[in-house]
Chains A and B, each alone.
Chain A
Amino acid sequence: MGAQLPAPEPAIGPESAEFWAATLEGRLLLGFCDSCLTYFWYPRPLCPACGTWGARLRESAGLGEVVSYTRVHRGLGEYAEVGVYVVGYVQLDEGPRLLTNLVDVSDDLRIGDRVAVVFHKTDGPAALPRFRPASEPAHSA
C-alpha cells in the first residue's frame, strides 16, 4: 500500500530553506526554543509556547509513535490516482505531533505503533518526511 506515493514539492517559504535543505541530508529538524526548552512543529522564528522571538531549529531523532491514522480512499490533486494511501499523525519522541504519510505499513497498523522517519525526494530542493514501521532499519527512497 502506498508504494508509489507522489512526492509533491512543498511551496517553500522564505524562512524554511534550512529546514528543507536538511531533509535532503536525511535530517528532520524541529522548531526549538532556548528559553522554554520546548520543541515545536511546524518551525517558525517565534516560539508558540512562550512567545520568545528567535527560536531555532534542532534535530529530531526521527522516531515516534502513531497517534492516529486514516486510509484515504479518495485522494485529490496529485493523490487522485494513487489508490489507497495512509495519512497519520506521528508523535515524535521530542514531543510534537506532525501530519505525515505512513508508508510500508501492513493491514494491522495500530495506534501506538513505533515509526521512524524516511525521506522521499521531491522534484524541488526538498524531501518529504514520511514514517515507516520502526522495527526495520529506516532507509531513504
Chain B
Amino acid sequence: MTSRAAYVVGAFEHPARSLPGRSVASVHAEVAHGALRDAGLNFSDVDAYFCAGDAPGFGAISMAEYLGIRPRYTDSTETGGSAPIAHLGHAAAAIADGRCDVALVTLAGLPRQSTSRTFRLEYPEGLEAPEDEFEQPFGATTPALYALAARRHMYEYGTTSADLAAVKVAASRHAAVNPNARLRNEVTVEEVLESAMIADPLHKLDCCVVTDGGGAVVVVAEEIARSLPRTAVRVLGYGEASPHGSGGDVPLTSVGAQLSGPRAFERAGVRPADIKYASIYDSYTITVLLTLEGLGFCEPGQAGRFVREGALVAPYGRLPVNTDGGGLSNNHPANRGGITKIIEAVRQIRGEANPEVQIPNCDLAVAHGTGGWLTTRAGAATVVLGGVG
C-alpha cells in the first residue's frame, strides 16, 4: 500500500447565478467539464467520483453514467454544505491509500427555478428524519435556527447586530470586485441593520444569497499533479465532525469547527495563526462568527470584536475571509455552496483571485464547510491547503 499526497489541480465555479431552462444533471456535468479542463485532464482520466444530495437521481450512480465515467471509487457522503469539503478530504485519503488517482467532486443546483416554499428538507414516505415529528410543527425556519445561535452569542458575550453586519460588509466589499457575484453592491453596517427582519436578530442581509449554478474540483495523486501544467494545491490536512444535540444538550454557541479544525490543523502540522486566507462557510453572518472562534482564529466570544476591527477584509485584514464575496454576496449554489469555499482558496493559493483582493504570497489557506443546521444538527469539515514550492 502506498501513501501519496493529494493535490487539487482543477477548480471551476459556474459563472452564472441564474440558469433557467437547465437540468441539475447538466449543470453538474458543465462544472465537471470546466474543472477537468482547468486541470488539463479529460473525463476518461477520472477514476473516482464524489457528489452529495444535490446530485439528481441515484446520486453517483446516475451521474457516473451521465458523465460517461467509470469510477473505481465513489463517495456520496451527505453532510449538506460541508459535503464538498468532506469529499475533498475523503478523496485525499482514497488517493493516499492507492484506491484512485483522479477524483472529481461536483456540486450543482437550481434553487432559483424552484417554486417550493417548504422550510425544511422533505423526505420520501417512511424515510422522514427521526426528529421531524418533534420539531417540524413549531415553524423553526432555517434562519430561525441560526438566529437562536446569534441570540445566545449576544447573551453570553455581548456580541451586537453591528458585529454580525460587519461580516456582510466585508463580503460585499469583496463581491464588488467580483464580476460574477450575485450582489455587487457594497453595503454598510447601517444598511444591514435597516434591512428587513427575518428572524431576530438576523436581518435579510445577514442571510446568504439564493443562486443557481455550482462548481467542481479535481484532486489527483502527486505523480499526476507533477505531469500537469497548472499550479497544484496540496491537501495538507483534513478533519470533520458531526455536532448535534442528542440527549438534549443542544449546541448553541459551540460548532463542529471546534473539533474539525484542530483535526485538520494537526494533520497539516500548522497553527491557525499561520493561515493567510480562510474560506468560511457563511450561510448566515453568525455562522462566520462561530466558525472563527471554533477554528481558533480568535478566542471564544471574541469574534464580534475580531470582525468589527476589519479582520476579514482583503488583502490586508488580519485574516481575509471569503474574498469571492462568499455565500453572503457572491454565490451559494444549491442552497449549500460548500464547493465555492474550496474554489476560492485554490484561487488564492494560485494567485488567481480578483486582483484587488489577492493576498500576497498566499501559501496557506483553510476552507471550512458547515452543513445542516446550527443549534440542531450539523456537519462540519475543514481542509488545510498549501502552495507548492
Q: Which residues of A are in contact with B by a Cβ distance under 8 Å? A: 5-13, 16, 30, 38-42, 44, 48-49, 67-80, 82, 85, 87-89, 91-92, 95-101, 111, 122, 128, 130
Q: Which residue of A lies closest to B250 (CB)?
A: A97
- A40 x B138 contact (CB < 8 A): no
Which positions in B face A, CB cutoff 8 Å?
Answer: 117-119, 128, 130-141, 143-144, 147-152, 155, 196-202, 245-250, 252, 375-376
A41 proximity list for chain B (CB < 8 A) = 134, 247-248
Complex contacts, B144 vs chain A, CB 8 Å: 70, 72, 87
Provide 21 A-B residue pairs closer than 8 Å at the C-beta atoms, listed in order of the A residue. A6-B139, A8-B139, A44-B130, A49-B247, A67-B152, A69-B148, A70-B148, A70-B151, A72-B143, A72-B198, A73-B199, A74-B141, A76-B118, A76-B119, A80-B117, A87-B139, A89-B148, A99-B135, A99-B138, A111-B151, A128-B138
CB of B160, distance to nearest CB on chain A (Å): 16
Q: Say whether A38 contacts B247, CB under 8 Å.
A: yes
A40's nearest neighbour on chain B, judged by CB, is B247
The answer for the CA separation of A12 and B252 in the assembled complex, in Å, is: 27
Residues on the B chain within 8 Å of A82, using CB: 139
How far, in angstroms, from A35 to B249 measured CA to CA in the complex? 18
Closest to B201 in A: A70
Contacting residue for A48 out of B136, B149, B247, B250, CB 8 A: B247
Instruction: List residues of chain B with CB within 8 A of the CB of A128.
Output: 137-138
Q: Tell me the bound Cα distance from A124 to B196 in angstroms.
A: 35
Given A73-B196, A77-B117, decide whether A96 and B134 contact each other with a Cβ distance below 8 A.
no
CB distance from B5 to the nearest CB of A (A): 38
A-B pairs with the 8 shortest C-beta distances? A96-B248, A70-B147, A79-B139, A76-B119, A48-B246, A10-B133, A41-B248, A42-B134
Q: Could you tell me the distance in whole angstroms from the C-beta of A32 to the nearest C-beta in chain B? A: 11
Closest Cβ–Cβ distance, residue B213 to chain A (whole Å): 24
